[in-house]
Structure 1
Amino acid sequence: MLNDIVGFVNNILWGQGQVLIYMLLVAGVWFTARLKFIQLIDFKHMFSLLKNSNKSDAQGISSFQALCTSLSARVGTGNLAGVAVAISLGGAGAIFWMWVIAFLGMATGYAESVLGQAYKIKDRDGQFRGGPAYYIKQGLKNSWFAVLFALCLFFGYGFVFSAVQANTITDAFNNSYNIPTEYTGAVIVIVAGLIVVGGLRAIAKFAEWVVPFMGVTYVLVALAITAINIQFLPSVLWDILSSAFGLQEAGAGAFAAAVKNGIMRGLYSNEAGSGSVPQAAASASPHPNHPASQGYVQMLGVFLDTMVLCTATAFIILLGTDTAIGEMEGIRLTQAAMESHLGGVGADFVAAAIGFFAFTSVVANYAYGEANLHIFKLDNKAGRILFTSGYLAMIFWGAMAELPTVWAMADMALGLMTVVNVIALVLLTPTIVNITKDYHKQRAMQKRSQREINFDAAKCKLQGNLEENDIWTGESKTKGSETPTV
């Protein structure tokens, strides 16, 4: 019965109904137009904000830590196994549509992160919390819609997505070393439990060191493989473009499969529009002290996740294996491709990479779920124990579950979150545009007078009412301590 329910919902969201495909494309085009191609015009500015992104205070983590936390959730099975799934079901053309949804998603990701910052609150420990449930409740003054999103997020990030990550890790280690899935699952549960007990700051510090290391290492290996096979790269690029528009013999069926699977797996990887990243964005004390600055930093995260890391995996697969459309393939396709390039050590490298990539996602997923405990008045000891127990139990279940079942549940959870969040984003467009204009105005003044950029909510037209007006008073709150950067 569970499979029937999941299948029915996914058919509406992703299948014949294709509700989400249209919603995401329209939302991406909408915010790209309303924000005047911000992902192109301010592309260089995204990187410039990393210069002072390691500054934090007692209330929030640094912008760099927030970026690494969001990347640790993004960078996981979607980058290694998800790309393999997209290619096996949608052909090489699926990669083109992953690029399209990432380009449009950069604007959507900026929009949701700006709102996450603008409507953030302080929890019982005095630390920043926020996300779609918070900006829906305050900005749209709609409590039941906020609760609906929080429930969808609990189901997705609190439980299902960590099961997907655990499933991919255990499958990779079982394939490479024949380790029983329940043994690997037990180890994941123990190590994840030890980290998440430390809360958001412990998770952010873990992500700050692990994510840059594993990302750079993986990209360097992919670049080396591409350089070795450079003579085949033009044919691979042509294969991606021709398959994306159904120009090959498979025709319209291949085109539809490429679009559907490219967008599905692209969204699952970069998460733009799903409402997950605003949880991490809201937890930061940004520098400059303005919601838009964290929006730019998180927009960079979409670029790094899909345009860089997913493309790296795509080239590894397309340069090393036959990519005819067939049955769903996951991490084993990526392992086989890497093995064709590097020999036996290739499968070992992918197993190690997915161990790092997926495990950081498992840990970051906890932070997203925990950030919404405040909505249900459960940000206390009893609430955290209950949430943590369910989270760890789902990791162990996912470690031994069947691949199609786990991915189908993940698609449903992500789809439900995205529907609620995209509706809220569109309704809150005036606030997003006003905050962006305020930032651009102050940035122009800064160039003339070296005046520091600070956001004052009273001087910017925000929809609804802020729950805590003292957070945004126009005074700089990012001072003092610096956290180490890589």
Structure 2
Amino acid sequence: MEAVNEFLSTLSGLVWGPPLLILLAGTGIYLTIRLGFLQISALPYALRLAFSKKKQDKKSKGDISHYQALTTALAATIGTGNIAGVATAVVLGGPGAVLWMWIIAIFGMATKYAEAILAVKYRTENSKGEMSGGPMYYLEKGMNAKWLAVLFAIFASIAAFGIGNLVQSNSVSDALRSTFAVPTWVTGLILTVLTGLVILGGIKSIGKVTAFFVPIMAVLYIIGGLIVLISNINLVPAAIGVIFTDAFTAEAVGGGILGTVIRYGVARGVFSNEAGLGSAPIAAAAAKTDYPGRQALVSMTQVFIDTILVCSITGITIVMSGFYGSGTPMVDGEQMTGAALTSESFAFFLGDFGSYIVTIGLVFFAFSTILGWCYYGEKSFSYLVGEKGIPFYRFVFVAAVFFGAVISLEVVWTFADVMNGLMAFPNLIGLLVLSGVVVSETKRFMKVAKEEKLQEKNNSASTNV
């Protein structure tokens, strides 16, 4: 097993090396320029779209609302990466990694926008009247590259078992065992039952659960973090100063093309928000929408919420605590990292209450990730074998939840990293080749959006009169 893990670690280092990180960042920068920094200028409008209660036009096709598509995608991305991934980035890369997470998130918003616009444009309707879309469809129909579509679907359907299932249930069982002494098999059994009850209903059931679940879990964690920041406001400016200073030190920008700080900041940022991996557009394709651009703007806000809001809470709290570098707590002679370090940082400021916030947040985050990734995996699997394969995939996926809760998963973590990285390559190629389609669809929708805004203004004026 040690030899297998060593091989996978080497492979992971190659997959997540400078070529992929440059491709991820480069695609985001290229799309940002072509779209005229849309993710910044249109963010207020996008947030209004995402959280508006305005009903969709009856002509809009899809299975779930804009909001449910957003929460399903957030369910899959707001997970262990926001708690454990950020801590790892700060310990291994330094405080400056947080700034590079922010930078890659800004450009990642353009990437996420492009993914969603293509997912909706090239989606198809199956025999049950349900929508199917994502990289496999725009690679096949938009690029005429069936082989790339198949590769993506293979990687995604396998990756769902790793980062979207086994490591999530394992994180939950470990956290509950450490904090509340709950046996791992009990956690595994409860998670398995709850997962089965939700995913058997398909995307509509997942959408309803995440629409209720995601806001609660995100708000609870953010409130906990804000309590830390506000009650220690005198430490915040210094922490942010350290983040900016460390991000541009010789160590950060040295070491060849990518320095240590930049590498970990970019890698963990992408790991958290998944911009460029091609997972979230599978959920976006199911949204009820009249224009691809409308749902794309909603999907874009996912990166903002995941990284700019949630990850920032974790990163700033850890830097404020001083738990990095030589100040990192030691456990059995090794540096504390991951969720344990985040928990320790919150506890430093809030006592046991801080540990409870992180543990409960991790439970919510991980469970929601399982739900979101099951949908991604089954859609990818059905692309390969047809709709008849979905019941089988769901059964195996649910069973794996219990398995993940009771075993050690060092090899699975590494394998999941490899699969996630391999997903990104065909997806990013598709985004670059089809960037002209993204720009065209954007112009088409923005013209409609301006007309709608003018109409609302005229209606408001006539009402006031």
TM-score normalised over the length of structure 2: 0.90
Deviates more, 1:299-308 or 1:134-143: 134-143
Matches within 5 A, 1:249-268: 252=254, 256-268=259-271
Matches within 5 A, 1:22-421: 22-50=22-50, 51-52=52-53, 55=56, 59-246=62-249, 252=254, 256-286=259-289, 289-324=290-325, 327=335, 329-380=337-388, 383-402=389-408, 404-421=410-427
Q: C-alpha deviations, 1:377-428, integer Å up to 9, x for none?
A: 4312xx2232123313433343244464333222211100111100111011
Structure holding more helix per residue: 2
Decide whether the 8 Å contact of 1:159 with 1:390 is kept in 2. Answer: no
Q: Distance in 2 between matches of 1:30 and 1:129?
A: 27
Instruction: Please tell me the residue identity of whatever aligns with 1:262.
Output: G
Aligned residue in 2 for 1:477: none
Aligned residue in 1 for 2:332: none
- Return the offset for 1:85: 1.4
Decide whether the 8 Å contact of 1:85 with 1:328 is kept in 2. Answer: no
Q: C-alpha deviations, 1:356-391, integer Å up to 9, x for none?
A: 1110111111111122243124312xx223212331
Decide whether the 8 Å contact of 1:53 with 1:63 is kept in 2. Answer: no
- Return the offset for 1:261: 1.4
Decide whether the 8 Å contact of 1:153 with 1:417 is kept in 2. Answer: yes
The unaligned stretches of length 5 or more in structure 1 are 452-486
- Return the offset for 1:52: 4.2
Cα gap change, 1:119 to 1:199, in 2 (>3 Å): same
The unaligned stretches of length 5 or more in structure 2 are 329-334, 458-465
Instruction: Please tell me the residue identity of whatever aligns with 2:32.
Output: T
Q: C-alpha deviations, 1:425-462, integer Å up to 9, x for none?
A: 101111111101111222234445679xxxxxxxxxxx
Q: Distance in 1 between matches of 2:93 and 2:111?
A: 24
- Return the offset for 1:159: 4.3
Aligned residue in 1 for 2:433: 427
What secondary structure, in the 3-state scheme, does the structure 2 residue paired with 1:92 have?
Answer: coil
Decide whether the 8 Å contact of 2:93 with 2:265 is kept in 1. Answer: yes
- Return the offset for 1:54: 5.7
Question: What is the aligned residue count?
Answer: 444
Aligned residue in 1 for 2:463: none
Aligned residue in 2 for 1:480: none
Instruction: Please tell me the residue identity of whatever aligns with 1:137.
Output: E
Aligned residue in 2 for 1:472: none
Decide whether the 8 Å contact of 1:54 with 1:63 is kept in 2. Answer: no
- Return the offset for 1:8: 3.1
Q: C-alpha deviations, 1:14-53, integer Å up to 9, x for none?
A: 24xx221111111011000011101112122112213246
1:19 aligns with 2:25: no
Cα gap change, 1:404 to 1:424, in 2 (>3 Å): same
CA RMSD of aligned residues (A): 2.3
Decide whether the 8 Å contact of 1:114 with 1:294 is kept in 2. Answer: yes
